[in-house]
Amino acid sequence: MRQRSRAFIIAEATSPSSRNAFINAVPVEPSTMPGNTTFVAGFTQSNVGDTSQNTLGAFCESPGEDYDGLPCDADHSTCGGTVQDCHGRGPGFRISDFESNRIIGGKQFEGALAVMNGVRNPGIGTVRSVHVYLNTYCLFLTGYSFAGGTADGPGAFDFVQGDNSSKSQNAFWELVKGAVTPLPSEDQVACQYPKPIFIDLQYEKNRCLSIGFPGELTTMAGRRIREALRAKLISSGALGPDAYVVIAGPADTYGHYVPTREEYGVQRYEGASTIFGQFTLEAYIDKYSSLVPFLADSTTGAPASDPAPVDQISNTISLQSDVVFDAAPIGTTLGDVLVDVNTTPYHAVDTFSAQFVGANPRNNLRLESMFLTVDQLVDGQWRTVRSDSHPSTIYQWVRVSTVLGTSTVTISWQVKDLHDF
């Protein structure tokens, strides 16, 4: 089972929410608000492609079935033969997704704070970086298990994980595939083996090296590339014997998943999502190793690079429909207060709540801005102390009538100490 981008909130949620990586960062930088930041606490990914923060495991949520509440099938993440009812459970499962977010975010914050407050070896020397473009040795194609999803986000229909070339494929999907995308060539099939092809996607500081990696490495794949590069760096003299190699990814672009060849052969989600074929990890190790000499103190020049990829932004498509219609109920206007906060005093752990005549938040994504703020009056001036990015606030949008286009927005804020989790 694995984590999908470190987020616990389900895909169907109608509340803009913080990922647990942001919940980690908030208490590290408690006095900062968007646009008022002097220190940024970044909790970035490393090799987490096959990990999950749904730490209780994956279970069948199938009311009325005899397997309801039982663990999902371990090989295929299925319940009764399909993936739809198999869901991962976080540590706050009995309470809410937000509670799982809070618990995991709190644990990661505590770990980070222990490292920050512990003994640290200062970085010595010059910071260098190397960047190249490279052609991939397999054209980018996903496998059938990619459509099966994971317990953190199940797929649909009859797709499952663990679907490899030893199994026959659904004839219907083979027809759909042929109608939507070009059929793979024999070379492509051989390059991607044993993955059955589903969709053609062509249409350092002296002691430390940070690998900017353009994909999601599984845990073991990350270990292998780190160990290979560390050995190369030490043998070449670029780093000392006490060197650290860390992975930061996905960085710069997104090249899907990178497992080991053994993991690729099983064809769970990660293997099916490895779009450049079974030797992707080995190719990355080889290419990154070739860049090591350019990190030496005596280096001159730059590594050879393939041409920069063509900018395809203007050719992108979206399958997300636009907001069709929004309106306020008769006798009201957008923003009117439907339910106001109480006038009686509030105390710690109490929750403020108010409801408004609203509209679909996808009308305006409020980039570099906010859907809500909590302001405090200080010496006659309003000062923003919370926003919708803080875990103590919730912005909940509900479509009341699709025909009339009416909606409500409920905003709540649980009063907490600034550093509370």
- Domains of the chain are 125-299 (no CATH), 337-414 (2.60.40.2300)
Helix (H), strand (E) at residue 116: helix 97-117
How far is Cα 49 from Cα 220, in angstroms, rounded to an integer? 9
Range in 164-173, 188-197, 326-335 the model is least confident about: 164-173
Range in 18-27, 35-44, 182-191, 242-251 the model is least confident about: 18-27
* Active site residue ranges: 52
pLDDT at 419: 44
**336-348 pLDDT tens trace:** 999 999 888 888 7
Residue whose C-alpha is closest to residue 253's, from 173, 142, 140, 148: 140
pLDDT at 33: 60
Q: List % helix, strand, coil for the chain (3-state, nearest 5).
A: 25, 20, 55
pLDDT at 203: 46
pLDDT band at 156 (very low <50, low <70, confident <90, very high): confident
pLDDT at 221: 95
**What average pLDDT does the segment 346-365 reach?**
90
pLDDT at 93 over 80: yes
Q: By percentage, how much of the chain surpasses pLDDT 90?
A: 30
Neighbours of 205 (CB within 10 A): 16
pLDDT at 313: 84
How far is Cα 7 from Cα 21, in angstroms, rounded to an integer? 8
**291-310 pLDDT tens trace:** 988 887 677 788 888 888 88
pLDDT band at 166 (very low <50, low <70, confident <90, very high): low
Distances (CA, A) of 249 to 48, 142, 312, 313: 9, 20, 22, 22
How far is Cα 159 from Cα 144, in angstroms, rounded to an integer? 7
Range in 28-32, 62-66, 151-155, 215-219 the model is least confident about: 28-32
Distances (CA, A) of 148 to 142, 267, 416: 11, 11, 41
Cis peptide before 250 (omega within 30 of 0): yes
pLDDT at 116: 78
Tokens (6 digits) for 33: 């608000």
Q: Is the Cβ–Cβ distance between 41 and 28 less than 8 Å? A: yes
pLDDT at 2 over 50: no
**What average pLDDT does the segment 7-24 reach?**
55
Tell me the average pLDDT of the chain. Answer: 82
pLDDT at 353: 93
Neighbours of 243 (CB within 10 A): 17
The answer for 345, left when phi > 0, alpha when psi is -120 to 50, beta otherwise, is: beta
**What average pLDDT does the segment 134-163 reach?**
78
Range in 32-46, 100-114, 274-288 the model is least confident about: 32-46
pLDDT band at 146 (very low <50, low <70, confident <90, very high): confident
**252-296 pLDDT tens trace:** 788 999 999 999 999 999 999 999 999 999 999 999 999 988 887
**What average pLDDT does the segment 311-337 reach?**
89
Side-chain-facing half-sphere of 114: CA atoms under 13 Å: 6
pLDDT at 361: 92
pLDDT at 241: 81
Cis peptide before 241 (omega within 30 of 0): no
Give the sign of the dihedral formed by CA 19, CA 20, CA 26, CA 28: negative
**191-208 pLDDT tens trace:** 888 888 887 765 444 567
Which comes out higher in pLDDT, residue 259 or 21? 259
Model pTM score: 0.51
pLDDT at 281: 96
pLDDT at 12 over 90: no
